[in-house]
Amino acid sequence: MGKDRLDEPLDLHNYSTWKLRFQLLCAELGYSRALLQAPIAEADVIMSDKVKSVMAKNVKNHYLQTIVRAANAKAAWDALAATFASTCNTRKVALRQELSDFKMENGEELPVYISRARQLQSDLLETGHVVSDVELSIIVIKGLPSKYHVVTTALTMREGELDFNQVVTRLMAYVLPEDDKKDSSVFITHQSGGNAGSSGGGKGSRPNSKSNATCHYCGKPGHFIRECKKCLAVVRQVVWRRCVEVI
């Protein structure tokens, strides 16, 4: 892109971020005053026309007439703001409602669910509403069904703020592929029979066995999060507290 062009021109759903970027672009070019103030002197008119020209390069074709019809750069700037005011607010309200109701759909895979949450965060940013990663982590955890109860309880009971990347990593580790679950079950059954580590004609340990596992809650090797005594103790404590509250 040229020095007077943004990576993304103004379109229907990006006004809030485009507005900020265009203001920064004008500041970099030394055009801030001409953008925000009506021209008075002849020199101001010339500068205002330059800003209109730059503005025209950074919008989609259907917004060109709004800029051309404006008397000066400030008038064009205000006209665009008026055009997007109601649209932006309507979209923001709809997206915030979607965020409030956000939950995993029936049959939805975890990676798709996480991606959908990130996209919603990005869409809200386009309207000027910032959703922090900590807030997004809480929303993602809250929207999971009951089968994630163990890992979500463990995550919410940890000290400190939730790190979104860590939350995703631990959720993904919790949802083992079916083949891994079968391998893990076979290993556990085999071990309980007293032949762990010595069957199969001297074969090495299975790649998905507990000997190769690392718990994604306590960080210690040798077991999965579902079998973590520390994690299960936390879950039992939470359940006990809820029972006491009910009583």
**Most confident stretch, 121-130, 176-185, 186-195, 238-247:** 121-130
What φ, ψ does residue 74 adopt, rounded to 5°?
-65, -40
Q: How confident is the model at residue 246 (pLDDT cuts 50, 70, 90)?
A: very low
Average model confidence (pLDDT) across the chain: 79
Is the residue at 135 inside a domain?
no
Task: Please tell me which residue, 1 or 59, carries the higher pLDDT value.
Answer: 59
At CA 53, angle to CA 81 and CA 9, rounded to 5? 55
Percentage of the chain exceeding pLDDT 90: 44
Contacts of 125 (CB under 8 A, 6+ apart): 16, 17, 131
pLDDT of residue 176: 60
CA separation for the pair 43, 26 (Å, rounded): 17
- pLDDT tens, position by position, 93-142: 888 999 999 999 999 999 999 999 998 998 888 777 899 999 999 999 99
Enclosing H/E stretch for 247: none
Half-sphere exposure (CA, 13 Å, Cβ side) for 236? 7
pLDDT of residue 186: 35
Task: Please tell me which residue, 50 or 234, carries the higher pLDDT value.
Answer: 50
State which residues form the domain around 33.
15-92
pLDDT of residue 238: 45
Is the residue at 125 inside a domain?
no
Q: Is the pLDDT of residue 206 over 80?
A: no
Is the residue at 80 inside a domain?
yes
- pLDDT tens, position by position, 27-83: 999 999 999 999 999 999 999 999 999 999 999 999 999 999 999 999 999 999 888
Local structure of 115: helix, strand or coil? helix
Is the residue at 186 inside a domain?
no
Is the residue at 54 inside a domain?
yes
pLDDT average, residue stretch 238-244: 43
pLDDT of residue 160: 79
Overall domain count for the chain: 1
Is the residue at 83 inside a domain?
yes
Helix 110-126 × helix 15-29 angle, to 10°: 50
Q: Is the pLDDT of residue 170 over 70?
A: yes
Please count the other Cβ atoms lying within 10 Å of the Cβ belonging to residue 154.
22
Q: Is the pLDDT of residue 145 over 60?
A: yes
Is the residue at 34 inside a domain?
yes
Is the residue at 57 inside a domain?
yes
Task: Please tell me which residue, 2 or 26, carries the higher pLDDT value.
Answer: 26
